[in-house]
Amino acid sequence: MKIEDLNLKHSITKAINELGFTDLTEIQEKCIPEILKGKDIFGQSSTGSGKTAAFGVPILEKIEGHKGIQALVLTPTRELCCQVTDAIRSFSRHLEFRITSVYGGVGIEPQIDHLKRADIVIGTPGRILDHINRRTIDLRNVKFFVLDEADKMFEMGFIDDVEKIMKNISENRQTLLFSATLPSGVNHLIKKHLKSPITIKSQIHVDKKLLKQVYYDLKSNIKFSLLVHLINKNPEGLAIVFCGTRREVDLLSTNLNAQKINAIAIHGGLTQNRRLHAIEILKGKKGAVLVATDVAARGLDIKNVSHVYNYDVPKTSEDYIHRIGRTARAGNEGDAVTLLTERDHENFRRVLSDRTLQIHKEEIPQLENIKFERFNDQRRHSGTSYREHGSREGYRGSRGGDSRGDRRDPRDRDNRSRSSSHAPRKRWNN
């Protein structure tokens, strides 16, 4: 379906065309007409499927300016909050709506001022609840409530905050809930808060023609050596390396930088400015490596990823699919590589329970033995280092972030679980 087929306001269609988009993605084609009809929606889709536009565009179509906050979007992470804000602003560039983002780790006073004039608010649960408790946000006129990445909200322990926030919003609202997976907690939320919802799923699949999936079964003492070998074989590519914990992210990125690999760390323990700065650096570089936890990387639509490395094996096939789905996009080829050690076999068996996955075993090549340094001094390891424009720079982390979420588990919230080229016919993946 074409963008013009939606019969949107001219100013919205004009902005979308200026961004170079022509065709709707599957989730957009299915969601936008139903949201415009006033329906509650449960949308199941992965990162990069275009769900921000799927809910953002109909909100822009239906709200009116200068009548208070009419739409509230909750996101689990600060990065996703900023990304959603930027996307909706780009769709509304020819409208006079005021769109603001609200998250922890930064001063609250400027947010209080912006909230007085906002039409649309995108925020993280802890900071939104802080504003509710301070009575600095007025949600009485909210017509649209969007819960983005609901499954990650549960994993990060935000669901109590979400419930408290929803109590402050009129029941005469339209509720739009999006989630990559459907755990029991999300299903309970749908039944409790959505009115006769329409379930919309976009196909989550791996293009076997474009994506090569392999694994190496190896001893843990050579895992780092193999990762360095594989990265150096593809020096021009943009890679994402997934780790299970914040500490492993910091250790691995520091060790990669010691091997003259431009590694950039991102996890929930870094300050907001550091995290956003790291993402901006990554977008402008070739041959860079993002080392991240699942939670920190969730919702980040990083383009032109050539390789995904599972340094720590994900716990489920769904998590595996969402990780590897970051490469082999837009007709480009990609590689997904899993490094399997003794402790990972149980997780890998769960991944392989999805019979549609075709992951082939690779022989271990001859390797130079590279020492992986594990630091005992926690002060030396409060962050990680990365090179910016060829120079080393200290990269110190802190708790920062959404204060309520961090108080629940300040040590390792990322690992905790509770149970633009303008090519023709460009698909719209915001």
Residue 426 is assigned to a structural domain of this protein: no
pLDDT for 182 equals: 81
33 and 87, same structural domain?
A: yes
pLDDT in tens, 8-21: 999 999 999 998 88
pLDDT of 124 higher than 70: yes
More confident residue, 366 or 401: 366
Q: How many CA atoms lie within 13 A of 143 on its CB side?
A: 19
215 and 196, same structural domain?
A: no
Residue 430 is assigned to a structural domain of this protein: no
Backbone angles phi, psi at 23, to 5 degrees: -110, 150
pLDDT for 327 equals: 84
pLDDT for 20 equals: 82
CA dihedral 98, 99, 102, 103 (to 10 degrees): -150
194 and 229, same structural domain?
A: no
Write the CATH number for 221.
3.40.50.300
With cut-offs at 50, 70 and 90, classify the pLDDT of residue 384: very low
191 and 245, same structural domain?
A: no
More confident residue, 319 or 386: 319
pLDDT for 299 equals: 59
Residue 77 near residue 124 (C-beta atoms within 8 A): yes
102 and 55, same structural domain?
A: yes
CA dihedral 92, 11, 24, 316 (to 10 degrees): 10
State which residues form the domain around 154: 3-201
Q: How far apart are CA 291 and CA 310, in angstroms?
A: 10
With cut-offs at 50, 70 and 90, classify the pLDDT of residue 427: low
pLDDT for 19 equals: 87
pLDDT for 283 equals: 67
With cut-offs at 50, 70 and 90, classify the pLDDT of residue 284: low
Q: Which of 89-93, 173-177, 373-377, 382-386 has the lowest mean pLDDT?
A: 382-386
225 and 146, same structural domain?
A: no
Residue 176 is assigned to a structural domain of this protein: yes
With cut-offs at 50, 70 and 90, classify the pLDDT of residue 319: confident
285 and 171, same structural domain?
A: no
CA dihedral 338, 342, 346, 352 (to 10 degrees): 30
Q: What is the DSSP string of 116-145?
A: TT-SEEEE-HHHHHHHHHHT----TT--EE
Three-state secondary structure along 39-70?
A: CCEEEECCCCCCHHHHHHHHHHHHCCCCCCCC
pLDDT for 409 equals: 36
26 and 152, same structural domain?
A: yes
Per-residue pLDDT averaged across 115-123, rounded? 97
pLDDT in tens, 134-192: 999 999 999 999 999 998 898 889 999 999 999 999 999 999 999 887 888 889 999 99
pLDDT of 249 higher than 90: yes
180 and 71, same structural domain?
A: yes
Residue 414 is assigned to a structural domain of this protein: no
Per-residue pLDDT averaged across 82-92, rounded? 93
Residue that the structure tokens 């998250």 belong to: 103
264 and 190, same structural domain?
A: no
Q: In 3D, which of 190, 160, 163, 169 has the Cα closest to residue 178?
A: 190
25 and 161, same structural domain?
A: yes
More confident residue, 129 or 4: 129
pLDDT of 401 higher than 50: no
Cα end-to-end distance, the chain, whole Å: 16
Helix (H) or strand (E) run with residue 258 in it:
helix 246-258
Residue finishing a domain among 182, 201, 220: 201
Per-residue pLDDT averaged across 378-405, rounded? 35
pLDDT for 389 equals: 29
Residue finishing a domain among 201, 233, 250: 201
* DSSP code, position 365: P
Domain count, the chain: 2
pLDDT for 424 equals: 43
Residue 336 is assigned to a structural domain of this protein: yes
pLDDT in tens, 191-235: 999 999 999 987 655 566 789 999 999 999 999 999 999 999 988
Residue 52 near residue 430 (C-beta atoms within 8 A): yes
193 and 48, same structural domain?
A: yes
pLDDT of 382 higher than 70: no
Backbone angles phi, psi at 382, to 5 degrees: -75, -10
* DSSP code, position 394: E
Number of residues assigned to the chain = 430
